[in-house]
Structure 1
Amino acid sequence: MKVLIVKTSSMGDVIHTFPAVEDALRNRPDISLDWCVEEAFAGIVALHPAIKSIHKVAIRRWRRKPFDGGTWREMAGLRHALRTAHYDLVLDAQGLLKSAMVARQAGAPIAGFDRSSAREPSATLFYQRKYAVPRDLHAIERTRRLFGLVLGYQPDLSTLASGIVPPAGGLTGVEGKTAFLLHGTSREDKKWPVEDWIEAARQLVARQFTPVVTWSNEAEKRVAEAIAGAVPGAVLIPKSPLAEIAAILGRSTLVIGADTGLTHLASAFGLPTVAIFLATEPGLTGPRGPFSSTLLAPASGKVTPTEVVEEAERLLMLKSQAAA
């Protein structure tokens, strides 16, 4: 049975789908899985070795130039590629109108959430098979339950595995323990103050860790340079392709991150990961992993660097005990 997964974005949402892929592979060895995803996150999907083909969409870019000839050619090319793949089923794991429209291009039966479960109920107008999944569950569990209903099995929710593998590569010239500090995030109110990142990095150096920072835009560059400049021994990685960052991240000893996609990736890699949530509720979309933890800022206070480093040490001890 040939199945196309449609989960186009965001990075965290894509990563949250991997445990459902693992369930499907375990329970339905007769299926093969392809994936349709935003071009920016194709490298993330490629981390799972069982995904056969990856179809790229560029909805965000296409919306900026809806009447451009290149946009129309790319959309036609996507439709042709999906049709010629001859899928038995399309599984829309996103439940949005945009994902339903993409799913429709494959010309195969579409399965997804029912009207009460989808994020955008209008998306269900394009589905031939619809399933109810409670909306008050974590995104990972919702997706696992949906896959199970569509493909005919009961997922074992007592286990959690992503199946993804870091790409080849890593950080060269650095020996010993590394702590990747993921300070960048999309919203100002999600950002931990730079002075707290600096203090956390200093505490990590005192514990024989090498702090690692990088950046993807000018604002993040200023923060990364401030951390590296204030903490002797910290390593500043220049802006790099996602695959290179994923390789370094996947081989880190410890990760501390804001509410951002790479923090979800670290958790999915099974790394000791401390997520710092300042303005969003992690209950339904926070990182989940065997050694991940979320520190939520109280309404009248803040998350301190000491709290973060102590939580990191706790997770490291848990991983060490699990490996013993």
Structure 2
Amino acid sequence: MDAPQKILIIRLSSLGDILHALPAYAALRRSFPAARIDWLVENRARFLLSVVAGLDEVIEIDTAACQSHPFAASSWAGLWKVICSLRRRRYDISIDFQGLLKTAALGLLIGARERVGFGKAFAWEWPAHWLYSRTVDPEHSGMHVVDANQVLTQTVGAPRWSGQVQFTVPPQISNGVSEQLAGMKLSDFVVINPGGGWPTKRWPAARYGSLAERIIRELKLEVVVTTGPGEDELFRTIQSNCLARIHHLRLSFLELIPLMKQARMVVAGDTGPLHLACAVGTPVVGIYGPTSPERNGPWLPADRYVVKVLPCSYCYGRTCPTHNECMDIPVQEVFREIAARLEAA
């Protein structure tokens, strides 16, 4: 098979899932340095791909508008305009990492010479596999998503990539974060990110406070708690349960990139910031409950996670009838994994 000259990646959302696809992209770029590689994504996630090194173009598409306003001609007109523009590019290969009917249909309409996607056993919506010209199923349904994505890229001739993902963050963002750290006199620190899109993924904030105190007292490291919009109460609860001083940074997702690169470790649940830390190669300890760490956990070999396995694991539920029993994980268990990971670093 000749090396492809034009490749289209289809992974529309979400931030964590896009981060899981970045090692597969890095494998493509490393294997086909002269190829044009574009990425089709929903507009709300474009900002992350805009700082990924080596992508030729990030193309926005608004499928959400078609779903929320299915009878509005303008919604479909915008979608069709993007599809027609991409058809004219005549891609050699499109790779659908999402496995939905809508993403498979987009690949079909865009008309790449070869359309690669997951087979019936692994596609998120199994009928999607009918719309690909080449399908592949990972060895088992519980395979880590990062590895499964690279099964797709291996089938087009890109060997597995296990290195770091390269980001090109604007200097004003990197310098701004460095200035904040310098102002706090921070150089050797652990990042705790207590938030999460799903309430069921959140470890109790009070336990993060107790954990932070042990990190500071016993490991002699500073602790930085990062929060997003509307999460200040999480920090206040953490600080009120920690007798030592901890630091608080309210950062955008792009600002987290230079912060993660400078951290000794990141501790978080199954969230975008945890997967970002993996992407830049920072040591990670993940705290897992409703989602499987074997499928969605930290993906670097030395990284660690803590999980409480119950009969209802892994439900992938955003609400819980048992009051998040799976997140009832003792502080000692998390601290033990942190100490072990730091020793292995």
> Into which bin does the TM-score normalised by the smaller protein fall?
0.7 to 0.9
Letter in 2 for 1:278: G
Structure 1 residues 33-52: aligned runs within 5 Å:
33-52=37-56
Q: Does 1:143 align with 2:149?
A: yes
Q: Shift in Å at residue 49 of structure 1?
A: 0.8
Counterpart of 2:245 in structure 1 is 233
With over 3 angstroms needed to count, the CA separation of the structure-2 counterparts of 1:83 and 1:105, relative to structure 1, is same
Give a deviation string over 1:121-176, Cα, whole Å, max 9, x none: 22123222233433432212211111111x135x34xx622423372412412322
Q: Shift in Å at residue 295 of structure 1?
A: 0.8
Counterpart of 1:209 in structure 2 is 221
Counterpart of 1:164 in structure 2 is 166
Asked if 1 retains the 8 angstrom alpha-carbon contact of 2:145 and 2:296, the reply is: yes
Q: Shift in Å at residue 226 of structure 1?
A: 2.1
Counterpart of 1:303 in structure 2 is 329
Asked if 2 retains the 8 angstrom alpha-carbon contact of 1:6 and 1:93, the reply is: yes
Q: Shift in Å at residue 196 of structure 1?
A: 0.4
- 1:75 equivalent among 75, 79, 95: 79
Q: How many residues were matched structurally?
A: 313
Counterpart of 1:313 in structure 2 is 339
Letter in 2 for 1:146: L
Asked if 1 retains the 8 angstrom alpha-carbon contact of 2:95 and 2:152, the reply is: no
Asked if 2 retains the 8 angstrom alpha-carbon contact of 1:15 and 1:268, the reply is: yes
Distance 1:230 1:146 in 2: 46
Distance 2:60 2:262 in 1: 27
Counterpart of 1:251 in structure 2 is 262
Distance 1:83 1:225 in 2: 52
Counterpart of 1:322 in structure 2 is none
SS in 1 for 2:293: coil
Letter in 1 for 2:133: Q
- 1:223 equivalent among 229, 234, 237: 234
Letter in 1 for 2:192: L
Q: Does 1:31 align with 2:35?
A: yes
Counterpart of 1:183 in structure 2 is 194
- 2:11 equivalent among 7, 12, 25: 7
Distance 1:101 1:61 in 2: 17
Asked if 2 retains the 8 angstrom alpha-carbon contact of 1:179 and 1:252, the reply is: yes
Distance 2:75 2:262 in 1: 38
Distance 2:49 2:334 in 1: 30
Q: Shift in Å at residue 263 of structure 1?
A: 0.8
Q: Shift in Å at residue 38 of structure 1?
A: 2.3
- 2:104 equivalent among 100, 103, 111: 100
Distance 2:304 2:50 in 1: 26
Distance 2:70 2:165 in 1: 37
Counterpart of 2:126 in structure 1 is 121
Give unpaired runs (5+ residues) of structure 1.
320-324
Aligned-residue CA RMSD in angstroms?
A: 2.5
With over 3 angstroms needed to count, the CA separation of the structure-2 counterparts of 1:295 and 1:5, relative to structure 1, is same
Distance 2:42 2:30 in 1: 26
- 1:266 equivalent among 277, 296, 314: 277
SS in 2 for 1:90: strand
Counterpart of 1:57 in structure 2 is 61
Q: Shift in Å at residue 268 of structure 1?
A: 1.8
SS in 2 for 1:3: strand
Asked if 2 retains the 8 angstrom alpha-carbon contact of 1:82 and 1:105, the reply is: no
Q: Does 1:130 align with 2:130?
A: no
SS in 2 for 1:311: helix
TM-score by length of 2: 0.81
Asked if 1 retains the 8 angstrom alpha-carbon contact of 2:66 and 2:75, the reply is: yes
Give unpaired runs (5+ residues) of structure 2.
311-324
Distance 1:184 1:54 in 2: 28
With over 3 angstroms needed to count, the CA separation of the structure-2 counterparts of 1:133 and 1:235, relative to structure 1, is same
Larger deviation: 2-11 or 84-93? Answer: 84-93
TM-score by length of 1: 0.86
Asked if 2 retains the 8 angstrom alpha-carbon contact of 1:37 and 1:56, the reply is: yes
Asked if 2 retains the 8 angstrom alpha-carbon contact of 1:213 and 1:228, the reply is: no
